[in-house]
Amino acid sequence: MPKDAELFSFTTALQRYARTVALANLGRIVDAKAEFDLFHLVRAAVQENRYMFNSPAANVLVIAEQMAKGELSYKSGHINEGLDHLRNAVVAPDELLYDEPWGWMQCRVTVGLSCHRVVYVTWKFRIMPLSSCSRMWQWYKK
């Protein structure tokens, strides 16, 4: 983490977000929850005048929060809750100001992979009929 937390407040918040997602994906759920709590602390310290390209840092951190909540919930076994947060993360970048490169890119890929994983496992182990799996894809398109 950066030594000057005030100067690098936005960077620190993004690092806490990234650590939350990484720890959740490693299955270290308790550590991920602790990191998510730290994310909230440093997010509150990000100054209003901080930007990521053309978008205010606060708007970008809304996406990071939804992504982290989604990954953490999904990996904790709360799949529907996790997918809801990830879906919120997909919609949130539409509120960012247009810029190139985009202020946030990976939401749709993460949601698509998470839905694919659920549908594949459901189909593979015959947990529900294939027709139900296709309904899950319709849910993703909402």
- Give, for all 142 residues of the chain, the pLDDT tens digit: 888 888 999 999 999 999 999 999 899 999 999 999 999 999 999 999 999 888 899 999 999 999 999 989 988 988 888 888 888 888 887 788 877 766 666 666 666 666 666 655 555 555 545 455 455 555 555 5
Other CB atoms within a 10 A radius of the CB of residue 70 amount to 27
Residues 6+ apart with CB under 8 A from 81: 73, 74
State residue 9's pLDDT score. 94
pTM: 0.77
State residue 108's pLDDT score. 63
At the topology level of CATH, where does 9-141 sit?
Hyaluronidase domain-like (1.10.3450)
